[in-house]
Structure 1
Amino acid sequence: MITIREATIDDLQTLQAIGIETYKDHFSDIWTDAGLQTFLSEDFSACKLRKSIESPTHHCWLIALNEKEEAVGFSKVNWSKPIPMSDQIGAELQKIYFLKSQAGKGYGKQLLQFIQHAAQNRNEGFLWLDVLKTNSNAQRFYESFGFRALGEIPFSTDIAEIGMIVMCHDVSR
């Protein structure tokens, strides 16, 4: 069981550390070492994180803590974003990451349920995300929550054109 709470500016270094570690664990094979370092230094820069955390009307950072109150994962949700390939607006689940050592404990399911309820409470109507076209395990995970693929959008790294699948779930019910 995890405890989930909204992250504050005091969590910035923790979010940065977990974000970099988990991204490397899961996605280092789609980048060169230099490309990965460039991406991470931009995506998880202290300045960018601070600005985002300090904009709660647009973004929601959630931190997941284990029984020992240790951070084991996090997510970032962007409120009221246009859904690609659609004329709808919804909450975008931009990031949901857990430390590799925490895999298989059901934490992702708990955090996703928490996010779905938060989106419903904000009357978002839809929760959407994009996932690597090659990540069939993640796609199946989201499908088990009622997400459906809308189509593909481009995504490339410094070594490959991979593509992303946009998935959406109606949370208005």
Structure 2
Amino acid sequence: MIGIREATIEDIPLLRNLGMATYREHFSDIWSAAGMQDFLNKDFSIRELQQSIESPACHCWLMAFDADNQGVGFAKINWSKPMPLPGQVGAELQKVYFLKTQAGRGYGKQLLQFIFQSAKDRQQGSIWLEVLKSNASAQRFYESCGFEVRGEIPFSTDKADIGMVVMNCGLSR
């Protein structure tokens, strides 16, 4: 079981460290070392994190903690965001990452259930996300949680053209 709460300004150092560590663990093979560092410096900069945490009408950062109150993962949701494929607006699950040492403990499903409830509470009609085309295990996980594939969009790193799958899950209110 994990503890979940919204991130605050005081969580920025932990969030930044978790973000950089988890992204490196999961995606270092699709970036060059310099490209990865550039991406992380932008995406997890103190300023970027502070601006989004201070905009709760637009963004929500969630922190996940284990039984020892150690940060093990996080998620970022963007409220009322248009899907990259036409015709739908909903909560975008932009990031959901856990440390690799925490894999297989059911934490992802717990965090996703929390996100579903938060989205319903905010009157969001659906949740959508993008996942790497090459990440079949993540796609299976999201499908097991009710997401359906809606299409594909391009995505490139400084190392390769990879592509993303767009997935969506409707929420009954």
Alignment TM-score, normalising by the size of structure 1: 0.98
User: Partners in 2 of 1:81 and 1:172 — Cα distance?
Assistant: 18
Q: Distance in 2 between matches of 1:43 and 1:121?
A: 27
Map of 1:123 onto structure 2: 123
**Partners of 1:48 and 1:30 in 2: how far apart?**
23
CA deviation after TM superposition for structure 1 residue 41, in Å: 0.6
Gaps of 5+ in 2: none
The corresponding residue for 2:80 is: 80
Secondary structure in structure 2 of the residue aligned to 1:161 = coil
Tell me how large the CA RMSD over aligned residues is: 0.7
Partner of 2:157: 157
Match runs of 1:6-17 below 5 Å: 6-17=6-17
Which position in structure 1 is the counterpart of 2:3?
3
Give secondary structure in 2 for the equivalent of 1:155: coil
Structure 1 unaligned runs (5+)?
none
| Secondary structure class of the residue paired with 1:143 | helix
Task: Report the secondary structure of 2:38's partner residue.
Answer: helix
Aligned to 2:21: 21
Per-residue deviation, 1:155: 0.4
Counterpart of 1:63? 63
Partner of 1:34: 34
Q: What is the percentage of aligned positions where both structures have the same residue?
A: 61
Instruction: Give TM-score scaled by structure 2 length.
Output: 0.98
Q: Residues of 2 paired with 1:19 and 1:169: CA distance?
A: 25
Distance 2:172 2:49 in 1: 30
Partner of 1:48: 48
Amino acid at match of 1:23: Y
Counterpart-to-counterpart distance in 2, 1:84 and 1:40: 23
Q: Tell me how many residue pairs correspond in the alignment.
A: 173
